[in-house]
Structures are given as structure tokens and as C-alpha cells.
Structure 1
Amino acid sequence: MTALEIAVQDPAGAEIARAGGADRVELCSALGATGGLTPTLASVEAAVATGIEVHALVRTRPGGFVYDPAEIAVMAADIVHLVSAGAAGVVVGALHADGSVDRDATAVLTAAARRAGDVQVTFHRALDAAADPVDALQTLADLGVTRVLTSGGAQTAQDGLAVLSALVAADTGVQIMAGGGVRPDIIGALVDVGVDAVHLSAKTMVDDPGSAGPGGGSAVGLETTDPAIVAAARRATLMRRGSRP
């Protein structure tokens, strides 16, 4: 059975995902502008209250995935608070400058999650910046990571089908979740290569009811979760489930 995960930025998005039949959400902030940052504790609590399984992104800043010890310490502390707020999983990722998995940093983050509770750990699309995704996957398996989120190293998951297939074939015990430019119409192709889950933001832009002013950033609208896209993704997953033996 292929799970459906929706990336959301607020409790309203979590409720839309739940109503649309998603299995879980990845909750973050500033998704479009930065690729996602750690959400607030209040937003985690409110998203959990909708009744859907919430996995919280843990990322203190935009940019690359090479972190210093102080940044890792902050993320480890964030994990404890996020799990206390009700998160059923955390989404992390750390690399060395050569593109290999930062084993020590990932071990610290994974250990923080395990100490905080019985939660799942997803290694996010830092995997798509790894020098060797299949080798990285084995390292993550050794570290006890639950799943990876990846486009197969390509701009979109559709373009990364060959690498996604290789990750599935590696059979490390780590779940493979396809994400990156996923639309409902390509979910079937992703399911066909054997991924365990698909991940998409299902977002649309709506008018901002107020002005950002000179200090509010450069946003030209507000990102919101689109119920129609969530529903279409759910239908695509269910249709493919039914077509597989």
C-alpha cells in the first residue's frame, strides 16, 4: 500500500489533508520561499488536534545541509520539543561537504528522536544532494532511519524514476518516499517503481488580503493547501493500489 503524505504549512492545511484522505502530513514553515523550515510548537499542536499524523520538519535555516555542531544541537533540542507537542515523526537531514551522509550529526538527531518518544525519522531531500544516493541509503539504514524523501536526485521525481527504482531495489529496509514536483497525474508512474509513499505540497496561491509593506518580504500571494489537488492525489494512489496484484 502506497502512503500519501502532504506537505503543509499550517493547521488548516493539515485539516484539508485529513479530509482529503492523506495518511500523514509533513508540517513546516516557509515552504515555498525556503524549501521548508521548522514549524512553531503551537502550529504542531494545532495540526495534531485535527487528527492526522503529523511529522515535523527540523531545519533551522535555508540553504545547504552541512551543519556545525551548534546547529545540530539546536535541531536536537527542537526535536524534543516537537515530539512533546505531539509530532509522530521528525524530518531531518545532514551531509558532509563531499556529499556523504554526516553520520555523527544524523546519529545525534535520530537519538534525540528516540529519546523523545516512539517516533519515526525521515531523512529529507538532503539525499538528493548526496554524492551516491544508494550508498547514502545504506548508511541511513545502519543509523535506523525510517524513510527517505527523495526525487531520485533529479529536479522532479518524474525525472528521477531510474534512481528511485534503484533505491527501491537496494531493499535496505528504509522506506522510499518519492517527492519533488509530484502531481496527481504522475503518481501512477511513481507507484509502479515500487515506492512506499508519495509526497506533494498540493498547494495553490491565493490573494493576500493585506499588504506586506516594506518589512514583510517579497511575497506576492499566500500559499495554501488545495483540497482538489489532495483529493486527486488520493484518487490516483487508490486507483494504482487497486491495479496492483
Structure 2
Amino acid sequence: MTALEIAVQDAAGAAIALAGGADRVELCAALGATGGLTPTLGSLEATTATGVGVHVLIRGRPGGFVYTRAEVTTMAADIGHLVGAGASGVVIGALNEDAAVDRDATASLIAAARGAGAVDVTFHRALDAAADPLVALQVLAELGVDRVLTSGGAPTAGDGLDVLAALVEADSGVQIMAGGGVRPDTVPELVAIGVDAVHLSARTLVADPGKSGPGGGVSGGLEATDPDVVAAARRALGTRH
């Protein structure tokens, strides 16, 4: 069966994802505003308490995926803390200035993850900023990454079917998880090309009960996980066995 991963930002979202049939969640912070950042320890602890498997995004800042040595060191430390607190997987990504996989940074982050516990390692959509995703996939296979999250380099996974299919056909030993603009109605075409998992945020906006105030940023509502979208994605994938 193709796995279902839901990106969530809190324990409430994780509980909805679990109830809707998700196989695991990716936990992050500031998803809509930044594309996702490393969550807090408190958020992870509350999310693992729901009983769902939790993979944590490791990304210390918004922007591109070329990192300094100091940034990599910080992300490695975050990995140690979060895996120690119960994360069952980490989601990483680092590139060089020439848009190739940063082997040294990626190896350091993988070592931090594996040194902290027997956890899955996913290389996130930094792959979609790589100059050659097929070459990048082979490098990641050599480094020991378990899975990649990708839209096939397109704005949405539905637009990147040809590249996604090529990644699947490469048979690298790395799982291919389609993500980026995935909706329940686009799940069947992703399953048809043989991806191992689909990833979506199932985000909706709910009313903010208070004003953000000076220094609080601009609020157009609070992001939450939509149970109907999760359930529809599960139906599109079929019942788990």
C-alpha cells in the first residue's frame, strides 16, 4: 500500500491525521509562512503522545538550502534532541551552491540521526531545487537516505509526474514520496506511477481568537488540519492492511 503522510504543526493536527488514517506525520512549525521550520521539543512531545509516528522537519531558517557549517552543527544538535525526545524520523535537506546535494552536510545530519537512534531519514523538497534530481537521488542512495519528498521539481506533484516516474523507475532503493500541492483527487495518478507514499498538509484556516498586536505579524487566520481532507486522501489510497 502507498503510505499517507500528513504535514502537521501541532498535536491537534496529528490526532486528526491519525484518526483519518494517516500512516505517519511530518511535524514542523510555521508551515504556511515559511514552508516549514524545526518544531519545538514541547510540540514534539505532545505530538508523539497521540500515538502516531512522528518525523520532524529539521530546518533552522526559511530560504534556500545552502547552509553554513554553523547552521549544519545547529541542525545536527536539534536532531539529537528531537530523536531523543521520541521522533521516529527526521526530514533534512542540504545543497551546494551549484545545486548538487551537499554530501558533507547531508552525511553529518544522517550521522546525527543514526547516532541518536534507529530512525528514518527523509531528504525533503530541497531535491526539487537540485540541478539534476536523478543524480541527486543516486547520491542520496549512496549516503543512506531512506526516502525523498519531491514534486518532481514542478510547482505541484501533479505537474511533475514525468520526473516522479523517472525517480521511481531509477529503482535506487530510496523510497519516493510525492508531495507538493497534493490533493485527494490527484492521489490516484500519483499511485499509478508507483510512488511509495504521498504527502499533503490538509491545511485549512480557522479564525484567530485574538489580535496579533504590534510585533506579532500579520494574521489571516490560524492554520489547522482539515479532517475531511485527510479522510478523502485515505479513501483515495484505499484501506490500510
**Counterpart amino acid of residue 104 in structure 1:** D
* TM-score, normalised via structure 2 length: 0.99
SS at 1:158 equivalent: helix
CA distance in 2, matches of 1:191, 1:58: 27
Aligned 1:47-196 pairs, distance under 5 A = 47-196=47-196
Shift of 1:111: 0.4
Q: Deviations over 1:198-240 (max 9, x none)?
A: 000001001100001121111210000000000000000117x
What's the Cα RMSD here? Answer: 1.0
Residue 183 of structure 1: CA displacement?
0.2
- Gapped regions of structure 2 (runs ≥ 5): none
Q: How many angstroms apart in 2 are the aligned matches of 1:219 and 1:182? A: 25
The letter of the residue matching 2:236 is A
What is the one-letter code of the residue matched to 2:62? P
Once the two structures are TM-superposed, the CA of residue 97 in structure 1 deviates from its matched residue by 1.0
> In structure 1, what is the Cα distance between the partners aligned to 2:210 and 2:26?
27
CA distance in 1, matches of 2:11, 2:30: 14
Match of 2:198 in 1: 198
SS class of match (2:159): coil
Q: 2 CA distance for matches of 1:206 and 1:48?
A: 24
* Corresponding residue of 1:37: 37
Distance (whole Å) between structure 1 residues aligned to residue 200 and residue 218 of structure 2: 24
Alignment deviations for residues 37-61 of structure 1 (CA, whole Å, 9 cap, x no partner): 0000011011001000000000000
Amino acid at match of 1:219: S
CA distance in 2: counterparts of 1:47 and 1:122, whole angstroms: 19
Distance in 1 between the 2:85 and 2:3 partners?
24
Take 1:36 and 1:42, find their aligned partners in 2: how far apart are those partners?
Answer: 17
1:106-134 Cα offsets, whole Å, 9 max, x none, are: 00000000000000000000000000000
**What is the CA–CA distance in structure 1 between the aligned matches of 2:181 and 2:3, rounded to whole Å?**
17
- Secondary structure (helix, strand or coil) at the match of 2:238 reads helix
Give the number of equivalent residue pairs: 241
The 2-side partners of 1:48 and 1:206 are apart by 24
2-side partners of 1:82 and 1:35: how far apart? 19
SS at 1:236's partner residue?
helix
Rounded Cα–Cα distance in structure 2 between residues aligned with 1:136 and 1:114: 21
Determine whether 1:207 maps to 2:178.
no
Q: Distance in 1 between matches of 2:163 and 2:124?
A: 16
**Aligned residue for 2:19?**
19
Render the CA deviation track for 1:89-120: whole Å, top value 9, x for unaligned. 00000000111000000000000000000000
Q: Which ranges in structure 1 are unaligned for 5 or more consecutive residues?
A: none
Identity %: 74
Aligned to 1:225: 225
